[in-house]
Every structure is written in C-alpha cells, then in structure tokens.
Structure 1
Amino acid sequence: MRSSRVRAGAVLVGAVVTAVTGCSSGSDDATTKTEDVVRPFKATPSASVAASPSPSAGQGRLVVSYEEPKKPADRRAEAFLKRTKALEGVARYADDIVALPYDVPLRAKSCGQVNAFWNPQTKDITYCYEFVDTLRQVYEKQETEGSAKERDAAVEQDLVGLTNGVLLHELGHGLIAMYDLPATGEEEDAVDQLSALLLASGDDEHQEYAIDTINAWSGLAEADAAGGIPANEYADEHSLDIQRFYNWSCWLYGSNPDAYKWIVESQGNPDGVLPEERAERCPDEFEKITHSWGTLLEPYLKDA
C-alpha cells in the first residue's frame, strides 16, 4: 500500500538513469488536515499576494494534448496519463492559482529521451512518455508492501504525484520567461522551490505529491550512487538528485515543522532523513521562498 513516508533510498538494481532532470531546452502526522498545518500560498500575508490578478496578466491556461506514441512503452505511458488525468489535474491546479498571459500547450509525446521541459521558442511544455516508464521503475523498487494490486496502485499514485512536481517545475520556467521575472540565483533551483511551495501549500493530496517527488529524487540518487556520477553531471545546471532530495525534504518540513517532524533524523527518530543541522534552518528557508515567489507572482495570482 502507498506510504506517506519519505524514503531514504530504494534498493535499485543497477542504475535506472543518472540524469532524469528535465528542463532541456529548450505517519499519521502527515494526514493532518491542511488548514491546520500549512498556510495556503495564495493567502500568505508575508507574500503580499494580490486579491486578484493584474488585468495585464491575461486569461491564458494550460491546454493538455497527447501526440501519437511511437513505441509500445510510450503507448502504455499515454494510457496511464489519460486514465489518471494526471496532466489535466496539474493544469487545473495551476490554472486555479496563477494567471497566464496566453494559452500554454502542455503536450505529452514521444521524445526519444527521458525528459520534461519548457521550450522558450515554442512557448509550450512537453512531458515525454519515456519519463513515465523510467520513473515507474524507481517506484516499483520503493513500493514493497501489500498485494501486487495494491503495489501497482501505489506506484501509479506516486507517478501522478511526481508528474505534478515536475510540471509545476516546468511551469516555473515558463512563468519566468512569459513575465520576464528575475531569478537572482540558479533558475533550476528557483523553480524547484516554486514547485515545492505550490505543493506544500496545497491540500492534503498535493502535499502527498510533494512526498512522491521527494521519493523520486531518493530513488534516482540511489541509482546515481550505484552507477557512479559522470564528471559532466557536476557541470549540469540542475542540482544533483541527492541535493534535490534533501532540498525538497527541507522545504516540506519547513512548511510545517509540527506536521512533518518525522522527516528529521534525530536520536528519537532514527528513521528520519533530514539532518537536524539542516532542519533548524528549513522553516526560515520556506518562509523566504514563500515571500520571494509571492512577491514575484503577486500581479498574476488569482483569488483564493
């Protein structure tokens, strides 16, 4: 059955893939009601969020489409995406939060690579069918409890969650480009922060999606360790998978330390994954992320 826990690492046989990063260019504690544990991003006072979007923000939305798959595995991925309506779900969630200046296509397609990306030339987001099949292997190694049917269902829920995390990341790239927003640090880290913020500030379901995303970085980091990290990975604009695992864990914990205290490794909680030294700074990190993105997106955020 599906676990709400952050996993410190799945035992992967061989390296699944060492760079599923996207963006080429182109506990019972966790089930506490959202309103008791996380402040909605749209209504955070410190972010000075506007009551309604600026007239210049536009009435655009994410428009989902599916291209004909080119391989049998891609056809299975297409069937999964259509059955779960994962793309439609993230599009609806994003459209409820932020106004877009024009319609942005969100296309699922065969890419010949494991990827998801915002394309600044065509002004659209691509979600590759190959991404689904590869990450399914990661989650299949992590979901080990329950019957085969329960494990399969848990893997599919994990994949829906990761799809949300990845596509909100790509939407972050799009927002920076469409609205000419400043990014004073590494853009990949900045849009990771936005994705984590939008999920952690959402309802219970979207907070679970944040956990699914964290667990994907855990599994990929395990694969990195098993297969070795090529030197050119250190030159990539993305943080390493293990860094993304710890960053996302920190931001989720920082969104509400009481609700997510089980994430922190301590003498009383040896199963935690986040070192106490980092955890101490996480509430402040999350507050800064909320303030920074709230300030940047203030003219474009919709009513709660």
Structure 2
Amino acid sequence: MAGKLLLIGHLRFIWHELACGPIMNRNTLNLALVALLLLLVTACFCRSDRESGSVSFNSSRPSFEDPESSSTGSPNQRRDEGDFLVEHLEVSTPRYTELDQQVKNERLLESAAEQLNRALILPHDIPLRTKDCNQVNAFYSPGDRSITICYELMEHFYKIFKSVGNSDDQAYDK
C-alpha cells in the first residue's frame, strides 16, 4: 500500500512538472509519457517484497503453500529465484565499438540490473545484453529468457536528444 501511495505521489509530481513547467517539445513530452506509462505498469504488476518470500514460484503455474503450514507468514509471497544478469557480447559493427566501451566503462547495464533486482521478484534469471541488431529495437527472447538492447536503439535515442538542442554530453547522459 505504501508503495502505491509513493507511486501516486511520483505521478502527481511528474504530471505537475509536465503541466506547469516550461513548454516542452513534442519528443520530450512523448518520452516522458512513455516513461510514466512504464513506471505505472511496473508498479501495478510488480511487487517489491523481494526480501521476504515464502512460496516457490513454478514458471508454468504459481503454487502456494498452505497458510497454516507456512512458518514465514503470508501465503501470497513468492520466493525470489532469479536475477537480471549482465552479459557483454562482442560488437560486430565497428561504429558501435566506442558505444560498447562506454556502456561497459560506466557499468550502465550493471546499474540497471542492480536496480531491477532490488525492485522485482523473478522466477528465473534473465540475462541483459547489448547487441548490434541491424534494427532500432530492444526485445525479449523467450527461448533463452533474455533481454537484448540494440545499439541501434541507443544511437536512435542519442540522436533524438541531440536533435532537441542538447550538447553531446547532455545527449549521452540522457
């Protein structure tokens, strides 16, 4: 309940900033709305009780222990059985070599994985990868249960931030 109240507070703050702040250009507003939608979906469907799980989660179907036989409390809690894991793949396109090095040096994937691991309960490990995909995209692969973020998508966002007047450093930081 407290998490949902915190989310509502964040949503009110973001809405206030969007409505009352300086006039925003269309790309920035669209990006903010997408981020807000992602935050809302994550908050509605993901629980933050990672530290206290008493029920095992089967990937095909959740099974709950009998509340009377459970020694740790609520029968609705799931055991955290996975984490986001970072895998750095080799870059096959030379123009993404520098971008790959920046991602590694600044530990961008590792930082994202740490934040996600603190916030989400997972039934299994999920590798996070960067890759040149020949398309502007990011996707989940159910076969190996991995998330791939394409360098083309990172480059696309960089160009968007540059196009709205940000310097190279500001666009990179976004």
TM-score (ref. length: structure 2): 0.57
Residue of structure 2 in register with 1:142 after alignment:
164
Alpha-carbon distance between aligned partners in 1 of 2:23 and 2:115, rounded to the nearest angstrom: 23
In the alignment of these two chains, the number of paired residues is 117
After the TM superposition, which residues 59-208 of structure 1 pair with which residues of structure 2 at under 5 Å, given as runs? 59-144=81-166, 151-158=167-174
Alpha-carbon distance between aligned partners in 2 of 1:131 and 1:49, rounded to the nearest angstrom: 29
Please tell me the residue identity of whatever aligns with 2:170: A
Instruction: Give the 4+ runs in structure 1 shifted more than 6 A.
Output: none
Please state whether the residue corresponding to 2:52 is helix, strand or coil. coil
Alpha-carbon distance between aligned partners in 2 of 1:103 and 1:140, rounded to the nearest angstrom: 35
Alpha-carbon distance between aligned partners in 1 of 2:94 and 2:47, rounded to the nearest angstrom: 49
Please tell me the residue identity of whatever aligns with 1:55: V
Q: Provide the alpha-carbon RMSD of the alignment.
A: 3.1
After the TM superposition, which residues 206-225 of structure 1 pair with which residues of structure 2 at under 5 Å, given as runs? none
Residue of structure 2 in register with 1:55 after alignment:
55
Please state whether the residue corresponding to 1:53 is helix, strand or coil. coil
- Larger C-alpha radius of gyration, 1 or 2? 2
Please state whether the residue corresponding to 1:55 is helix, strand or coil. coil
Please tell me the residue identity of whatever aligns with 1:67: L
Structure 2 stretches lacking a partner, 5+ long: 1-20, 28-33, 35-41, 57-78
Indicate if the aligned counterparts of 2:89 and 2:130 stay in contact, CA closer than 8 A. yes
Indicate if the aligned counterparts of 2:81 and 2:122 stay in contact, CA closer than 8 A. yes
Larger RCO, structure (CA 8 Å, separation 6 or more) = 1
Indicate if the aligned counterparts of 1:73 and 1:133 stay in contact, CA closer than 8 A. no
Please tell me the residue identity of whatever aligns with 2:132: S
Indicate if the aligned counterparts of 1:109 and 1:128 stay in contact, CA closer than 8 A. yes
After the TM superposition, which residues 5-20 of structure 1 pair with which residues of structure 2 at under 5 Å, given as runs? 7-9=24-26
TM-aligned CA deviation for residue 109 of structure 1: 1.2
Q: Deviations over 1:30-58 (max 9, x none)?
A: xxxxxxxxxxx98x9xx997572343233
